[in-house]
């Protein structure tokens, strides 16, 4: 277990307008690690993909609760978890495959692949009817000033 040096938690309704709020809030909190613009971009993109999934897939026909928790761990590591209590994922391995989508035409099926490639580690926990949690870790390289 890595020690938690700082954290923040936020809860919001699965309205699509909250997606930009969530990614901006996480990036603002992460700013204390002095990330590069590239790293901020990666964080925002990963958060955006996870939150969008909760909004569109977790709660397709309802509004529900989304909780985003961000922890700062030892060694400049940022851990972001995005949780919903929505419909859950039947087959997580399949869902993580590039280009797999249940979303039809307008979805690329690349969300998990993007989250994985823009962070150092991604775990998905899910159970049908109970919801989904995505946990991502990203190390922010310390910089000389
Ligand atoms: N929070 C979630 N709740 C329920 N299903 C999800 C969730 N996140 C992802 N999924 C499932 O995993 C699939 C793949 O997700 P993703 O890689 O982001 O692609 P896309 O969102 O374009 O479909 C989704 O189509 C959906 O079936
Ligand atoms: Mg997606």
**Mean pLDDT score of the chain:** 96
pLDDT tens column, 70-93: 999 998 999 999 999 999 999 999
Output phi, psi for 114, to 5 deg.
-65, -45
pLDDT tens column, 20-51: 999 999 999 999 999 999 999 999 999 999 99
Structural domains in the chain?
4-139 (3.30.565.10)
Atom of ligand 1 nearest to the CA of 124: 8
Secondary structure letter of residue 8 according to DSSP: E
Residue 145 has pLDDT above 80, yes or no: no
How far, in Å, CA of 118 to CA of 27, rounded? Answer: 14
**Is-catalytic flag, 6?**
no
Tokens 């929505």 belong to residue: 86
Query: pTM surpassing 0.75?
Result: yes
- Distance (angstroms) between ligand 1 centre and the Cα of 100 equals 8
- Cα separation values, 12 from 7, 54, 83, Å: 17, 11, 11
Binding site membership of 86 for ligand 1 (Cβ less than 6 Å) = yes
Please enumerate in sequence order all residues whose Cβ is within 8 A of that of 123, keeping only pairs 6 or more positions apart, or say none: 134, 135, 136
């Amino acid at each position: 277990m890595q020690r938690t040096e700082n954290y923040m938690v936020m809860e919001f309704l699965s309205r699509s307008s909250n997606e930009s709020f969530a990614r901006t809030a996480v990036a603002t909190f992460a700013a204390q690690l002095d990330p590069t613009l590239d790293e901020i971009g990666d964080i925002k993109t990963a958060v955006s993909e996870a939150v969008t999934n909760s909004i569109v897939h977790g709660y397709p026909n309802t509004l529900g609760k989304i909780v985003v928790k961000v922890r700062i761990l030892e060694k400049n590591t940022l851990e972001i978890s995005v949780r919903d209590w929505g419909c859950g994922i039947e087959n997580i391995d399949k869902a993580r495959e590039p280009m797999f989508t249940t979303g039809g035409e307008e979805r690329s099926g690349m969300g998990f692949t993007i989250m994985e490639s823009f962070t150092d580690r991604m775990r998905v926990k899910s159970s049908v009817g109970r919801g989904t949690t995505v946990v991502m870790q990203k190390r922010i390289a310390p910089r000389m000033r």
